[in-house]
């Protein structure tokens, strides 16, 4: 018997035209398609949902300045990113109740960066059992909530952190 995993929003992405340029700079500048997933903007960085999440609520904190390495970021931006990351953790805890988090940077494509031309910090909520047989046997992740629903919840939770 053949099993099916239904994810209709993936077809929209596959058929849509791809933007030219850095997707994070486009989101920062408010380009309509790319900026849809921006949760909140701050002085030196912004928060955006990952379009291809590992788990529900997977988001990224992105510096406004276009740079590809942590070494190129000024101290004020790093401090702002740290403060914003802390707010994101509180917001995720409040509205999604994860049991843990994976946090980090992937610097360069060899380190797993899907977008290596613009630095970004991942915040991935985790729950016991979220890496199940689908990921192990079928190389497939099951995301149980649509991005727009996650966006609404997290936007409200981040607003409460301000």
Which CATH number covers residue 108?
Answer: 3.30.428.10
* Residue 14 domain-assigned (yes or no): no
| SS3 of residue 101 by DSSP | strand
Q: What is the pTM of this model?
A: 0.80
Structure tokens at 11: 């077809």
Say if 15 falls within a structural domain: no
- Does the pLDDT value for residue 34 go beyond 70? no
Residue bearing tokens 């702002």: 80
Query: Does 49 map to a domain?
Result: yes
For 4-26, what is the mean pLDDT? 69
Is position 7 within any domain? no
Provide, rounded to the nearest whole percent, the portion of the chain with pLDDT above 90: 45
**Nearest in space to 60 (alpha carbons), one of 140, 123, 148, 1:** 123
pLDDT in tens, 35-92: 688 999 999 999 999 887 888 899 999 999 999 999 999 999 999 999 999 999 999 9
Print the domain residue range for 142: 22-161
Domain presence at residue 106: yes
Of 46, 57, 51, nearest to 121 by C-alpha is: 46
Q: 3-state SS string over 35-83?
A: HCCEEEECCCEEEEECCCCCCCCCEEEEECCCCCCHHHCCHHHHHHHHH
């Amino acid at each position: 018997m053949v099993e099916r995993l239904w994810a209709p929003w993936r077809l929209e992405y596959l058929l849509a035209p791809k933007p030219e340029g850095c997707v994070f700079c486009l989101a920062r500048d408010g380009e309509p398609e790319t900026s849809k997933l921006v949760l909140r903007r701050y002085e030196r960085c912004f928060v955006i949902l990952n379009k291809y999440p590992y788990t529900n609520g997977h988001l990224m904190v992105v510096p406004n300045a276009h740079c590809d390495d942590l070494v190129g970021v000024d101290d004020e931006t790093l401090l702002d990113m740290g403060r914003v990351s802390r707010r994101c953790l509180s917001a995720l805890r409040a509205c999604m109740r994860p049991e843990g988090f994976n946090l980090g940077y992937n610097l360069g494509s060899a380190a797993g960066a899907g977008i290596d031309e613009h630095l970004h910090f991942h915040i991935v909520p985790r729950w016991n059992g979220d890496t199940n047989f689908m990921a192990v046997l079928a190389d497939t992740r099951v995301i149980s909530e649509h991005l727009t629903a996650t966006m609404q919840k997290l936007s409200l939770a981040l607003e409460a952190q301000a």
